[in-house]
Chains A and B, each alone.
Chain A
Amino acid sequence: MRKVETVLIANRGEIALRVLRACRELGLRTVGIYSEADASLRHLSLCDRTICIGPAPAAKSYLDTELVLRAARLTQADAIHPGYGFLSENPTFARAVEEAGLVLIGPSSTIMRRMGDKIEAKRMMLAAGMPCLPGSDGPLPEDMDQASALGARIGYPLIVKAAGGGGGRGMRIVHTPADLRQAVQTAREEAIRAFGNGTLYGERFLTHPRHVEIQVMADQHGHAVWLGDRDCSVQRRHQKVIEEAPAYGIGRDEIARLGALCAATCLKIGYVGAGTFEFLYEDGAFYFIEMNTRIQVEHPVTEMVTGIDIVREQIRVAMGEPLSLTQADVRCDGHAIECRINAENPDTFMPGPGKVTRWLAPGGEGVRTDTHLYDGYVVPTHYDSLVAKLIVRGRSRNEAISKMRAALEETEVDGIPTTIPLHLHLMEDERFRAGDISVHYLEERDFSRNKKDSTHGAG
């Protein structure tokens, strides 16, 4: 086990601040890296050491493995926390970190590579007894006659997806057998362009699924726990917009069986660290879609109902320490909701970077704000538009919704557009309040601009 004293935070924005807080609680030194456009990020003034690694474009800074590793060497960091996005699920980066003799706060590059390949991931999950959608269980044959036969076996509607993809690219929904040829061709071209890999797979497309996921945590000593479930069905173009814990209206016994299966699967496949098993849920059945091998944006809702600091635990297990809790210690108390506040026009979703002239976060019992915003901060144009996460916890879902509405109303932000008006609208929406939603809910609404594009899954 390598002793870790200094953690390099290879990310920006709210998650960099979140990781920094966990490191400080653990008494670890921190190194903040930043691009030239990011010198005034909030967490940098709290880091023990900071270094500018490159110019503003992410490809020349946060996404450059060589620069991140050089920064670690120059600052004598022993461990790297990749956060989410950027290099967090890049197995080549993970491998380079391992080869440099550093600790990656995440799973091994081997498991990351296997989980990143969706065909391989599904094969492993089927072997572990995880429920999966009927599908090609391997690459879709290039030969269209064979592909058609496979399509008939899977059943329609089905979805064709890029094996190495994500974020909705290289995906096509096929409603009838006659549409298959065209869909495969388009998806393959898109996949080659976007991911340099034209391998596709197909599986059954669900028409009104919910997105339900299980948070897991495993250490290097053969212990794994599941920390509860989340519903992330409110999505726009495969990006989650609102997340909740627990997933309301699903039997706790059912969730507990699924959670235990996820924890057991971690042990079976040798998974270490924080992870998320993502499922579609329709008509009382779960279907595995993918496993995320990193901390997720929505982890705070689980923290709010369990009282467990997931990032702290993630760092501890990466350092080789055993889990500080057992399954019996994990309890779900109340209901938590997170709204992702983006610097975007709430109607068109166009990013609106600029100077924040006023920022006042909401407060009160059961209200948490994870953000890097402050008065005078300039939201740069180069990166994701997530600027804050508002998280509330109530005793019931209704109480949480009321609390969220009040928290959204209390939040004051001037200078940039935000999605707060959209969230306020959703908190009042009858369908949302009744929990009558699927992953297509947001796209079915008036402000949806791209109904045709709806597919499974989210980042």
Chain B
Amino acid sequence: MARGEDMPTDIVWDMVACMRRYGMRELDVHDGAMTLRLLLEGAVAQTGAEERLSGDNGAATVSTPSAGTVVYSPVMGGVLLTHPLRHAPEVEPGQEVAEGDIIAFIAVDHILQPVVAPCAGHIDTIEVKHDEVVGYHQPLMVIL
């Protein structure tokens, strides 16, 4: 691939973002003679495939538990575990959540972007503090 033509890898990274958003650990894409397997860090390959998306450094640095679904920050901003107009946090460790429940917000300037549970389960750990500054795709919580 020529320098500057990062289109194919762009697609891979978009796929990784989608996988994280929806709590997927493993993705197989078959297209004619081509097979692409994406395996997020922490996931265990079902078929013993060794390939993972670690060609770049970022995706592989976050240590995630092998069990549970990690919820990542969709954007860079400030984490709000409690909505500014409420007193109680959206979720607490141990709490049951349904897929699609709002579990936190990321403040980007004056706009709050909701973080939704990618799957049903209960909140295992909360990795960040209220008002903490988080980067793009930083782990926020783990759902078991």
Interface residues of A, Cβ cutoff 8 Å to B: 34-41, 50-58, 67, 70-71, 74-75, 350-351, 353, 377-378, 380-382, 384-385
Contact = CB atoms under 8 A, between A and B. Distances in A.
Contacts of A385: 3
The DSSP consensus for interface residues of chain B is loop
A58 B10 CA distance: 10
A55 B73 CA distance: 12
B61 interface: yes
Nearest to B108: A70
Given A36-B58, A54-B136, A378-B55, A351 B3 contact: yes
Interface of B: 1-3, 6, 9-10, 13-14, 17, 54-59, 61, 76-78, 108-109, 133, 135-138
Nearest to A49: B133
B135 A53 contact: yes
The 6 closest A-B pairs by CB, nearest first: A52-B135, A37-B56, A40-B57, A36-B58, A39-B58, A51-B135
Contact of B58 (A52, A70, A71): A52
Q: Quick one: which of B2, B55, B136 has the most chain A CB within 10 A? A: B136
B10 A57 contact: yes
B6 A36 contact: no
Contacts of B135: 50-53
Given A52-B137, A381-B6, A70 B57 contact: no
Nearest to B138: A52
A39 B6 contact: no
Contacts of B77: 70, 74
A34 B133 contact: no
B10 A54 contact: no
Given A67-B76, A70-B76, A381-B1, A53 B58 contact: no
A140 to B, nearest CB: 27
A381 B3 CA distance: 8
A36 B76 CA distance: 12
19 contacts: A36-B137, A37-B59, A41-B57, A52-B76, A52-B136, A53-B136, A54-B76, A54-B136, A55-B13, A55-B137, A56-B10, A350-B2, A378-B54, A380-B56, A380-B57, A381-B9, A381-B56, A382-B56, A384-B3
